[in-house]
Structure 1
């Protein structure tokens, strides 16, 4: 399949090239720092940002895509069906 954008360097505002399912964990980092998070089922989203700051986003709606550079999704997260986008 042809990809006419293959020779361009991706930027943080470019569409995601990769994705992976996320299982919240207080001890394990994600397989890579995200460019964004997709929330399949709404709820609270507790994360550790790339710089180590811990934040909780309350009542994130279902279907949200949040442009966050996250290294960990914490267990107190009540949102579900999370996907890391890179």
Structure 2
């Protein structure tokens, strides 16, 4: 399939995601790479380690269907109640 936008701005953070991976929250495993954004399929809280931080932060009261423009290295199982989480790249 032809991709008319392949070389225009695909690598900038403002560009739309070009791949995605379903995430199982884990207190030990890091993501394969830092996310561009995170999709929340089921409402709840999301505990993360941001790309350049070592302190966990819990984002509370997230709405189902939200896309968070956050760059995270880890999505923690402790304090995460949101479901159907997808990392966007």
Please confirm whether the aligned pair reaches a TM-score higher than 0.5, indicating the same fold.
yes
Report the TM-score, using the length of structure 1 for normalisation.
Answer: 0.95
| Structure-2 residue corresponding to 1:20 | 21
Aligned ranges 1:1-86 → 2 under 5 Å: 1-9=1-9, 10-52=11-53, 53-76=55-78, 77-86=80-89
CA distance in 2: counterparts of 1:27 and 1:51, whole angstroms: 17
Aligned length: 86
CA distance in 1: counterparts of 2:48 and 2:40, whole angstroms: 13
The Cα of 1:54 is off from its aligned counterpart by: 1.7
After TM superposition, which residue ranges in structure 1, 4 or more long, deviate above 6 angstroms?
none
Task: Extract unaligned runs of 5+ from structure 1.
Answer: none
Report the TM-score, using the length of structure 2 for normalisation.
Answer: 0.92
Task: Extract unaligned runs of 5+ from structure 2.
Answer: none
